[in-house]
């Protein structure tokens, strides 16, 4: 798939970026002003009304993503080379993973996957609900908020064992009737060469994956998630900044989506306390990362950076 637009390309990059930032802010404020009343109505204890509000809230979020795609097309001539997304379904239940290189990743994923699959939802730390405006949006859109306890904390408070998973299961109850795509950046942070060297990562283009978060999701959601969507993102000209996206200076984005089964033996298991399962699960995640690293190597060869 290739898309390009250059309606504002005659303007200096600084002006394009400023206009894009303004459109992003206006888009967020307008959508939030519509979303908030619906979120308050959704608090009423009427299941049919709550379900209708949920559908409308998701449509508002998808409209927000669509508007963001609009200013991205206005700002630059980005070429999107995307494959594998045609096998996804809007009414599916997915676990989605991806490598993480830039703040651009999230908007690039939303731009290419909007309404091709359920809206991407992240498992968020409980404290993030207090982030102004965005925290309310996450809550209204049923992003699962979780409170995870460290092993050291559980050693001091054994009565808390299992409460984090139980709370997440309760948060995920609404997904039994509403399709969902639960998203996770396994590296936990954006790739930089400094982080790569500090970790002594065994992968050439990736940081070490963290398997605990995904195991926690599969434990909490059981068989609700039916497939894994493994996404690989590559920027031929190097990892862009968010300002590069706003100002339309990203030449090309390559994205590959692969639909894979989730092994049944990894569903509903106790990652924290079952050492044998933890080792087996980490081995599976590492094998996925080895395949992704090899794919990134092929993409680097197939899509070299633009010559100066």
If we measure between CA atoms, which residue out of 185, 187, 188 comes closest to residue 205?
187
CB distance 206 to 289 below 8 Å? yes
CB distance 139 to 38 below 8 Å? no
Tens digit of each residue's pLDDT (9 = 90 or more) over 279-305: 999 999 999 999 999 999 999 999 988
- Concatenating the DSSP letter of every residue in 198-234 gives HHT-SSSS-PPP--HHHHHHHHHHGGG--EEEEEEEE
Tens digit of each residue's pLDDT (9 = 90 or more) over 194-206: 999 999 999 999 9
Distance CA 207, CA 202 (A): 8
CB distance 246 to 21 below 8 Å? yes
Mean pLDDT of 269-273: 81
Angle at 230 between CA 202 and CA 60, to 5 degrees: 130
Distance CA 209, CA 203 (A): 10
Tens digit of each residue's pLDDT (9 = 90 or more) over 61-111: 999 999 999 999 999 889 999 999 999 999 999 999 999 999 999 999 999
If we measure between CA atoms, which residue out of 124, 287, 274, 105 comes closest to residue 213?
124
In the numeric block, which tokens belong to residue 25? 């802010």
CB distance 275 to 189 below 8 Å? no
With pLDDT > 90 as the criterion, what percentage of the chain qualifies? 64
In the numeric block, which tokens belong to residue 62? 């998808």
Distance CA 152, CA 187 (A): 23
**Close Cβ partners of 296 (under 8 Å, ≥ 6 residues apart):** 99, 204, 205, 206, 232, 234
CB distance 255 to 112 below 8 Å? yes
Residue 27 gets the label, from left (phi > 0), alpha (psi -120 to 50) or beta, of: alpha
pTM metric for this prediction:
0.89
Mean pLDDT of 232-253: 96
What pLDDT was estimated at residue 4?
41
Tens digit of each residue's pLDDT (9 = 90 or more) over 9-61: 778 889 999 999 999 999 999 999 999 999 999 999 998 998 899 999 999 99
Question: Which structural domains are found in the chain, ordered by start?
Answer: 80-302 (3.40.1130)
């Amino acid at each position: 798939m290739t898309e390009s637009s250059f309606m504002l390309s005659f303007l200096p990059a600084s002006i394009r970026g400023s206009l894009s930032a303004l459109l992003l802010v206006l888009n967020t404020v307008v959508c939030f002003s519509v979303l908030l009343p619906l979120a308050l109505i959704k608090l009423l204890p009427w299941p049919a009304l709550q379900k209708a509000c949920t559908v409308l809230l998701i449509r508002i979020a998808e409209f927000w993503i669509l508007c963001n795609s609009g200013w991205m097309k206005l700002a630059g001539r980005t070429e999107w080379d995307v494959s594998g997304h045609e096998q996804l379904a809007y009414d599916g239940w997915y676990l989605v993973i991806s490598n993480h290189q830039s703040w651009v990743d999230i908007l690039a994923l939303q731009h290419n996957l909007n309404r091709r699959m359920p809206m991407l939802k992240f498992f968020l730390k409980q404290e993030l609900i207090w982030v102004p405006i965005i925290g309310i949006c996450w809550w209204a859109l049923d992003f699962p908020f979780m409170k995870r306890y460290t092993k050291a904390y559980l050693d001091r408070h054994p009565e808390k064992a299992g409460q984090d998973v139980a709370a997440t299961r309760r948060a995920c109850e609404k997904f039994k009737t509403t399709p969902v795509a639960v998203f996770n950046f396994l590296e936990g942070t954006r790739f930089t060469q400094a982080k790569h060297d500090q970790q002594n990562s065994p992968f050439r283009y990736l940081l070490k994956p963290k398997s605990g978060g995904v195991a926690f999701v599969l434990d909490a959601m059981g068989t609700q998630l039916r497939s894994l969507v493994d996404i690989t993102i590559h920027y031929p000209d190097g990892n862009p900044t968010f300002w590069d996206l706003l100002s339309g200076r990203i030449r090309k984005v390559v994205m590959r989506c692969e639909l894979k089964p989730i092994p049944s033996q990894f569903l509903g298991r106790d990652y924290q306390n079952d050492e044998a399962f933890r080792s087996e699960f980490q081995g599976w995640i590492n094998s996925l990362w080895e395949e992704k690293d090899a794919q990134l190597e092929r993409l680097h060869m197939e899509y070299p950076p633009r010559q100066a």
